[in-house]
Homo-oligomer: A and B are copies of this chain.
Amino acid sequence: MKVDKRIAAIIGGGVIGGGWAARFLLNGWDVRVFDPDPEATRKIGEVLDNARRSLPGLSDVMLPDEGTLSFHDTMSEAVAGAAWIQESVPERLALKRKVYQTLQEHCNVDAVIGSSTSGFKPSELQGCATRPEQIMVAHPFNPVYLLPLVELVTTPANDAGLVETAKDALSGLGMFPLHLRKEIDAHVADRFLEAVWREALWLIKDGIATTEEIDNAIRYGFGIRWAQMGLFETYRVAGGEAGMAHFIEQFGPCLKWPWTKLMDVPELTEELVKTIADQSDTQSGAHSIRGLERIRDNNLVGMMRALKAQDWGAGALLNQQDKARAQGTVLTARADEIADPGQPIVTVRRAVPLDWTDYNGHMNEARYLHAFCDATDRFMELIGCDADYISSGGSYFTAETHIRHLQEVHAGARIEVRTRVLGGAGKKMHLWHEMYKGDELLATGEHMLIHVSLETRRPSVPGPMVAAALTRIAEAQARLAMPDGAGRFVGAPR
């Protein structure tokens, strides 16, 4: 039987099997599914919907064309010609062993048989199989189509060449195969999850905290840290220049204190401390502690601002905070509260965030437009084109933009955008933004916006309140001189 490097067989199509199917399919593999559940087609379709909206854009290059998805009534048909067979059936050892027996009667001897098992060791799975060498643990994390981690656990019975093939295939799927050569119940990651789960059950049982309080204790604190550096590198940074061994010894006594319900801990021998400190040097020694701190802060700011854009978790907190801070300032005033609508209106006042800077060390050119968009959004709010108005079906879309980048600006600098209306009649709104750092003009933005119906996506006239507010400001500002640079085309002589 010919093994096609691009055929994957999915045995069991629940949330995990479906996630594997999506991961393979969107990376160009043909996927053959076997699952006796009559709902399997619908369930995998739902996982695929989620994967299609999120995975392709995660990459900055194009994924290959999707492979072909097919459903099969028998395992023998599903595995024919497959290079990878992924078993994700329920966690019952006897069932899994029975499945492998059937698989091995029909699959190619060169195929990888990966198991999604959370708990069983590979030696248990291999048991008395005909060909133990092709069975290994490939334990992924939900959602499988997005998270890179796969624990690949093997035994000496596995074929070394096939293990390399498996690692290459997983890397080719954009995953990170963490190869564990020493097997243990529940592998590595789930042991931590289980430890936290046990402690959480005690906290709830003893009435110390609720599920929501526990989730908040995680996601507003160490959860964000762990997303980028994990446990040891985080502690390396916290320990500072004194080093990892010092950090461990300093916190050693806590191990004897009742800080967890479960108290059996290894003795902190000199040897264990040295092992940890040496491993940490190998892992992170290329960076100074100060360097790691800055890397960590860049990561935290980037992730928290990503959550801010989604208005979720730590990002939702930041938005609440911004709203409270902005209250009563010029940035939350209504149109009729503006002291002098005949003058440019302040629409943005902020510091340049770390994630707006690029390899040149200055604000990336696209973020100038980002700031001008924020200014446009604020101006729209001012004339009554706010969230309520937009949800009633009208909005302004930008048709055309011209930006002059006059000066560089760096992270942390305080910037301000002042906005003028150059024209506001009918469906059109012609805006002019000037970005300043103090008195220094950094950039100008000229924008033509068109009012649209969000139903038809076609131009339409704005509502009377919005039109009136826009006209009032446009007329008040009409007596100002035309700003320098307005009406400019790219490459025009100065």
Contact = CB atoms under 8 A, between A and B. Distances in A.
B195 A262 contact: yes
A376 to B, nearest CB: 8
11 contacts: A50-B297, A149-B217, A182-B208, A211-B280, A214-B232, A219-B228, A227-B313, A303-B307, A306-B306, A400-B404, A401-B401
A94 interface: no
Say what secondary structure dominates the interface of chain A.
helix
Contacts of A349: 61-62
B221 A208 contact: no
A178 B216 contact: yes
A204 B276 contact: yes
A71 interface: no
Given A226-B226, A231-B214, A307 B301 contact: no
Contacts of A180: 208-209, 213
A479 interface: no
Contact of A300 (B54, B194, B364, B397): B54
Contacts of A365: 369, 373, 398, 401
B351 A62 contact: yes
Given A57-B355, A58-B318, A195-B196, 12 more contacts: A50-B297, A118-B254, A174-B318, A180-B208, A182-B208, A188-B217, A198-B260, A200-B232, A201-B255, A219-B227, A299-B307, A400-B488
Given A229-B313, A350-B60, A369-B369, A147 B300 contact: yes
Nearest to A176: B220
B58 A304 contact: yes
A355 B213 CA distance: 28
Interface in A279-325: 279-280, 282-283, 290, 293-310, 312-314, 317-318, 321-322, 324-325
Interface residues of A, number: 183
Contacts of A314: 147-148, 227
A198 B255 contact: yes
Contacts of A387: 359
Contact of A224 (B147, B171, B354, B399): B147
Interface stretch (A29-37, A80-88, A156-164, A263-271): A263-271
Copies of this chain held together in the complex: 2
Nearest to A321: B174
A395 interface: yes
A206 to B, nearest CB: 8
A210 B355 CA distance: 32
Interface in A166-221: 171-172, 174, 176, 178, 180, 182, 184-186, 188-221
A3 interface: no
Interface stretch (A99-107, A108-116, A405-413): A405-413
Contacts of A370: 366
A156 to B, nearest CB: 15
Contacts of A52: 412
A374 interface: yes
Nearest to A189: B217
A222 interface: yes
In the A-B complex, the 10 residue pairs with the closest CB atoms: A215-B230, A57-B353, A262-B262, A302-B306, A149-B221, A56-B351, A223-B226, A212-B283, A227-B227, A149-B220
Given A216-B176, A293-B50, A490-B446, A231 B200 contact: yes
Interface stretch (A138-146, A334-342, A434-442): A138-146
A53 interface: yes
Nearest to A485: B400
A412 B300 contact: no
A258 interface: yes
